[in-house]
Amino acid sequence: MKLDSRLALCADMVQGDYICDIGTDHGYLPAYLLSTGKCSRALCSDINPLPLGSSEENLNKEGVAHMAQFRLSNGFESLDITGVTDIVIAGMGGETIAEILSNEKSRCPANFILQPMSRAEILRDYLAANGFEVTSERAAVCGGFAYAVMSCKFTGTPYIISPERRITGLLSKDDPASRELVSRQISRIISAVRGLINSSDMTLKSKGENSLSLAEKIRSDWGFE
Ligand SMILES: C[S@@+](CC[C@H](N)C(=O)[O-])C[C@H]1O[C@@H](n2cnc3c(N)ncnc32)[C@H](O)[C@@H]1O
């Protein structure tokens, strides 16, 4: 089976052989990892029964369902993640991913692979404030959109990130997909601040001006026109 470039990047960032896929939905990622032999076990979970059933069905089609467990669970709530090497939380908003992580109380030593569909900056804030060290970050362009994928470890040591890093993460200026993602982020910031800058409310106006100068700084640092 073939994954799209977003899920292929998540698969590429898997380091061990026992994956836990939270919000598994169709189960394409564990189906791929098990059928290619990159992983030998999978824990597939979803908060909703229908997607969980679809995951099981697709793993069955690939002949790998016997290597997986399927669990109905809100985030980590009903999961036993003992021995899991990689935890993937992909295809959800950055705030939802942060909320799911906030309920991971076992301080699991796994590699966390996080792929926010939106509000990546909220997730980066959460990771920094809660001691999840981002060890690498890459981007994928897929179906007309651009996505960041982060690989993190829980260290328990909080750190501070700059306003620029909230937007660009650890993405590389040399990578075309990362450039595409950051360029889109800048355009998004600029169109969001337009109304604020013309506001008669001085607090909103100043907020808009700060966001605009941040966007311009990133644009210049990354060498965008
Ligand atoms: C858009 S799908 C993403 C599927 C797949 N992970 C991907 O990236 O293609 C999001 C899935 O996350 C599930 N989900 C949302 N919140 C969840 C939570 N708190 N715990 C577990 N699953 C959740 C939804 O039911 C849905 O199946």
| Rounded distance between C-alpha atoms, residue 53 and residue 45, angstroms | 10
Spatial separation of the C-alpha atoms in residues 101 and 125, rounded to whole Å:
13
Residue 92, SS3 per DSSP: strand
**51's torsion region: left (phi>0), alpha (psi -120 to 50) or beta?**
alpha
CA of 164 to the centre of ligand 1 (A): 29
pTM listed for this prediction? 0.97
Measured distance CA(129)–CA(152) in Å, rounded: 13
Confidence of residue 199 (pLDDT cuts 50, 70, 90): confident
pLDDT at residue number 11: 98
Quickly tell me which residue has 């003992």 as its tokens.
82
Mutate to test the pocket of ligand 1, among 2, 24, 92, 96 (most ligand atoms within 8 A of CB): 92
Task: Round to whole Å and give the CA distance between 124 and 133.
Answer: 10
Class for the domain spanning 5-160: alpha beta
pLDDT tens-place string over residues 71-117: 999 999 999 999 999 999 999 999 999 999 999 988 899 999 999 99
Q: Which atom of ligand 1 is nearest to the CA of 91?
A: 8
**Positive or negative CA dihedral for 216, 196, 128, 5?**
negative
